[in-house]
């Protein structure tokens, strides 16, 4: 059972279109991270959201953390071919004296020129 559900799993759209990727859980997280991974490379952190309801913008990318800190969304405006990649969300929660990162399965995004 995936503790952090990402949808859609795969998305292929034309350059210039808008899209939203969702990350949902029944668990509460202290923070949530979004990563982008390009073929042949490791994931790279895009943003961390911490506060319920928080919105962060990174150029054409808008990230939102749900009010209850159980879900998050990534919205891309006017997608570009350079946005192509695998987008991963990861929720952080406390476990004993350490923290645990729960990973979503990823959304594979292809932007066609």
The site for another protein (CB under 8 A) is made up of 2, 6, 9, 31, 33, 35, 40-45, 48, 88, 90, 92, 98-99, 101, 103-106
Q: How far is the CB of 41 from another protein (least distance, A)?
A: 6
- CB contact at 8 A, 107 and 87: yes
Closest approach of another protein to the CB of residue 99, in Å: 6
Nearer to another protein, 66 or 91 (CB): 91
For strands 61-65 and 71-76, give the pairing: antiparallel
Closer to another protein by Cβ: residue 27 or 80: 27
What backbone torsions phi and psi does residue 6 show, to the nearest 5 degrees? Answer: -110, 140
| Beta pairing, strands 5-7 & 107-112 | unpaired
In the complex with another protein, the residue whose CB is nearer, 6 or 64, is 6
Measured from the Cβ of residue 2, the count of other Cβ atoms closer than 10 Å reads: 11
């Amino acid at each position: 059972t995936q503790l952090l559900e990402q949808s859609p799993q795969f998305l292929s759209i034309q350059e210039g279109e808008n899209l939203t990727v969702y990350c949902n859980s029944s668990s509460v997280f202290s923070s949530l991270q979004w990563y982008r991974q390009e073929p042949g490379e490791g994931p790279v952190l895009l943003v961390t959201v911490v506060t319920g309801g928080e919105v962060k913008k990174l150029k054409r990318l808008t990230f939102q953390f749900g009010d209850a800190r159980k879900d998050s969304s990534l919205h891309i405006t006017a997608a570009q071919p350079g946005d192509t990649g695998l987008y991963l969300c990861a929720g952080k929660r406390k476990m004993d004296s350490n923290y645990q990162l729960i990973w979503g399965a990823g959304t594979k995004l292809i932007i066609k020129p």
